[in-house]
Amino acid sequence: RAMVGKDPHLSLTKRNDLLYVPAQNSNIVSVLQRSDLSPVTAISVPGAHGAGMRDDGEVFYTTNLAGGGSDGLVAIDTESNSVVGAVNTPFAVPHNIALTPKGAKIYVTHSGPTADKVSIYSAEDSAATPELLGSVTVGLNPFGLAYVP
CA torsion through residues 100, 79, 22, 35, sign = positive
Looking at residue 16, its pLDDT comes to 82
Residue 91 · residue 120 · CB < 8 Å:
no
Burial class of residue 136 (count of CB atoms within 10 Å of its CB; 0-12, 13-18, 19+): exposed
Which residues, 6+ apart, have CB-to-CB distance to 58 below 8 Å? 77, 78, 79, 126, 127
Grouped pLDDT means (10 residues each) for the chain, 149 residues: 89 90 94 96 96 91 94 95 95 95 90 93 80 95 86
Position 126 scores a pLDDT of 66
3-class SS shares of the chain: helix, strand, coil, % to 5: 0, 45, 55
Identity at 29, one-letter amino acid code: V
Q: What is the CATH number of domain 6-137?
A: 2.130.10.10
User: How far is 78 from 56, CA to CA, in rounded Å?
Assistant: 10
